[in-house]
Amino acid sequence: MGSKRKSASKRRNNNNSQEEFISSSSSSSILTKREQQQQQLTGNESADDQQGTHTSSTINNNAPVLLAAEKSGKKWKNMATRTFTTLLMIGAFIFVLASGYIWSIVAVMAITTAVYREVIQIAHVPAKEKSVRWFKTMSWYFLITTEYFLYGESIIYYFTEIVMVDKFLLPFATHHRFISFMLYVLGFVFFVANLKKGQYRFQMAQFCYTHMALLLIVVQSHFIVENILEGLIWFVMPALLVICNDTFAYICGFFWGRTPLIQLSPKKTVEGFVGGFIWTLLLGFGVTTILMRFDYLVCPVQDLGASAWSHVSCDPKNPVFTAVPWTLPTYAVNIIKYLFRKDITEVWIAPVQLHAIAMACFASLLAPFGGFFASAVKRAFKIKDFGHSIPGHGGLTDRMDCQFLMGFFAHMYHQSFIKTYSVSVGSILALTINNLTAREQIELLERLQMYLSNQDIINSELLASSSMNNIIQDAREKLITSSYY
């Protein structure tokens, strides 16, 4: 009996030791996997190096390494690559702007489509997509539907006098929103009809991700196009402010970056953030002073085919482009007198230069959070960059993440504080077509003709001898015999 008890006790001890070994091995395996995931995630954070730091998973236990402390050969090579591609992009930007309004709009739409493709691409799961029919087709269908609605609204608003008088376009303009809604509903119904058992969660996640991309990319880029139509300066100035902030934040972080700014992007530094803010304020004020001198940039779009060589002009201009005197406070007068030996009591500043400072503040303090959000997306999907189309920068999304948010802000700011609202031929025409019956429209034409004749704007004798009165009379007779009112 004693030997049996000892044998049973020994077996229990062996089982316990085996369980402890398995448990410790399992926990060790889990710990190892977690460490590997942490190392991979930390390594991915090195994607965004625009503000002067670099993350390494092999130095100081995965701690971020600042560019200022990195080997000079590598950091100078990276800076040279970024500088070269930046200059190329700026040159292409200037060329597109000079080519004309229509090419600027086409460029924005092309970039939007490319960014949308990059963002959609990172969430694809090939193994599951093969079992789901029409998956990629639906993503592009919703893009086309969204752009049809948004850009159709812009065309109707800015070119009413053209759209509303065209027999073919008039029905599409009048019922544009209903047509857009039905196109979306067709896509929605098609999506629901193709839901497949076992793939519900994947399909719903992709549906939500697609709509998030449409909201954050396509909708915001639509407002950038509207900025172009309001005047190229409202497209150029916000874009340059973001470029300026991005460039000088990188330079300041490159040389003096010591303090990480945000955990999402350990590469970004406080020194780069502050340096970018100061330089953006200064250059924003100065660059706007130059931009406001060109009518091609200042005037709202009237002819989409116009270019920088088309001698564009507009009169009157928006009052924000007219310099007005500003009286300096006493302490400022004293400082100027002490430093420069000059007695200056007032300066001439255009309101748009002050608006540029407000936009520069947003470009420096808030627009970078668009980049932080993009960094969070990259970390969530464990990728380094959205693409590799721009050497030294990553993909188009890596360069446009702040531009979309900045363009949206510029549109809202312009509509709220800058735009002057007035009655236009297009607005009157739209009001007439949408709210007056055919009989009332003929009466309006007749009375407008009478008014112009009484004011000697048109020759009454020529008007009487012309066939206009006969045309109006014929239209009246048709209305009498028709049920169309």
246 vs 83, 129, 249, CA distance in Å?
Answer: 12, 37, 5
Handedness of CA 459, 461, 463, 469 (dihedral sign): positive
Q: What is the pLDDT of residue 124?
A: 78
Q: Provide the β-strand partners of residue 348.
A: 325
Average the pLDDT over each of 57-66, 172-181, 217-226, 403-412 and give the range with the smallest value.
57-66
* Distance in angstroms between the alpha carbons of the first and the last residue of the chain: 113
Q: Which residue has the higher pLDDT, 151 or 477?
A: 151
DSSP readout, 180-205? HHHHHHHHHHHHHHT--TT-HHHHHH
Q: Is 52 exposed, middle or buried (0-12, 13-18, 19+ CB in 10 A)?
A: buried
Of the candidates 423, 428, 421, the residue with the CA atom closest to the CA atom of residue 161: 428
Query: Shortest CA distance to 405 belongs to which of 141, 139, 224, 256?
Result: 224
Q: How confident is the model at residue 29 (pLDDT cuts 50, 70, 90)?
A: very low
Q: What angle do CA 231, 234, 240 make, to 5 degrees?
A: 135
Per-residue model confidence (pLDDT) at position 472 = 64
> Which pLDDT belongs to residue 446?
82
Instruction: Judge whether residue 407 has pLDDT over 60.
Output: yes
Contacts of 84 (CB under 8 A, 6+ apart): 391, 392
The pLDDT of 201-230, averaged and rounded, is 94
Reply yes or no on whether the pLDDT at 406 is more than 50.
yes
Q: CA-based Rg of the chain, rounded to a whole angstrom? A: 32
Domain segments of the chain as ranges? 2-47, 71-418, 436-480
Mean pLDDT of 420-425: 76
Range with the largest mean pLDDT of 287-291, 337-341, 387-391: 287-291
State residue 94's pLDDT score: 94
pLDDT tens for residues 152-192?
Answer: 999 998 888 788 778 888 889 999 999 999 999 999 999 99
Render pLDDT for 246-279 as a digit per residue (tens, 0 to 9). Answer: 999 989 988 888 888 888 888 889 999 999 999 9
Confidence of residue 464 (pLDDT cuts 50, 70, 90): low
In angstroms, the CA 339 to CA 58 distance is 53
Lowest mean pLDDT among 74-83, 150-159, 308-317, 361-370: 74-83
Average pLDDT over residues 273-299: 95
Q: What pLDDT sits at residue 485?
A: 45
Mean pLDDT of 104-129: 88
State the average pLDDT over residues 338-362: 93
Percent share of the chain, pLDDT over 90: 45
Query: Which residues make Cβ contacts (< 8 Å) with residue 251, sequence separation at least 6?
Result: 52, 272, 275
| Res 26: pLDDT | 42
Tokens of 261: 């700014």
Residue 7's pLDDT band (cuts 50, 70, 90): low
Chain-centre distance of CA 204, in angstroms? 26
CB 48 within 8 A of CB 253: no
Question: What is the pLDDT at residue 469?
Answer: 66
**pLDDT attached to residue 37:** 44
Q: Are the C-beta atoms of residues 352 and 376 closer than 8 Å to each other? A: no
Q: Are 439 and 479 spatial neighbours (Cβ–Cβ below 8 Å)?
A: yes
Average pLDDT over residues 343-364: 95
Instruction: Please give the structure tokens belonging to residue 229.
Output: 């139509």
- Give pLDDT tens digits for 49-93: 444 433 333 334 444 555 545 556 666 777 788 888 888 999 999
Q: Is 50 exposed, middle or buried (0-12, 13-18, 19+ CB in 10 A)?
A: buried
State the burial class of residue 242 (Cβ atoms within 10 Å of its Cβ: 0-12, 13-18, 19+).
buried
What's the pLDDT at 467? Answer: 65
When the pLDDT of each residue in the chain is averaged and rounded to a whole number, the result is 82
User: Residue 231 has what pLDDT?
Assistant: 95
- Is residue 228 within 8 A of residue 235, CB to CB? The reply is yes
Cross-strand bridge partners of residue 338? none
